[in-house]
Amino acid sequence: MNQPNKQNPPVYVFSGDEIIKLPYDKETQFSDADDSFEPAVAMVSVKCGNCGSVNVLIDDDVERTETHPREMGNESHYGAKCEAYCESCEQEMSVEVSFSEYADTWIFSSRDQENCEMVEVGGFGEALETFRKMAEDVRGQP
Ligand SMILES: [Zn+2]
């Protein structure tokens, strides 16, 4: 609370044609009124802890880790481990993220960063759109 300028870089989560952006503030929620969102791919942008280069880390195999029944239906938790080698210095980096859904809303619940720090990159939307199309092409293959 005493760091008003602290950034809360988001995790981007893909489900088919939809992309949601969940900032790491444990407050912002994404509402999924028609309950159609099924996470498949998670992506974060990070700054390399070694050289400071910005890289994108992706996990294309988001997994449901647990489900608990609650008053308003199930609360489902999902986890992803986004990892890559730094394009500049080849340092291995990873961010494990978890997020959950309850009562048709999504929230970013935890992260565990190794050798890197999540950052928010301006103009990322365009890259995401490109990535989404790439993912579509991959799915289109037999
Ligand atoms: Zn690096």
pLDDT tens readout for residues 93-125: 999 999 999 888 899 999 999 999 999 887 776
In a domain, 107, yes or no: yes
Q: State the distance from the centre of ligand 1 to the C-alpha of 13, rounded, in angstroms.
A: 24
In a domain, 52, yes or no: yes
Q: State the distance from the centre of ligand 1 to the C-alpha of 100, rounded, in angstroms.
A: 30
Report the candidate in 41, 44, 130 with the shortest Cα–Cα distance to residue 83: 44
Largest Cα span, the chain: 53
Q: State the distance from the centre of ligand 1 to the C-alpha of 47, rounded, in angstroms.
A: 8
Q: State the distance from the centre of ligand 1 to the C-alpha of 89, rounded, in angstroms.
A: 4
Residue 60 confidence (pLDDT): 95
In a domain, 109, yes or no: yes
3-state secondary structure at position 129: helix
pTM comes to 0.81
In the chain, the number of structural domains is 1
> Phi and psi at residue 95, in whole multiples of 5°?
-135, 120
Residue 26 confidence (pLDDT): 73
Q: State the distance from the centre of ligand 1 to the C-alpha of 16, rounded, in angstroms.
A: 31
In a domain, 142, yes or no: no
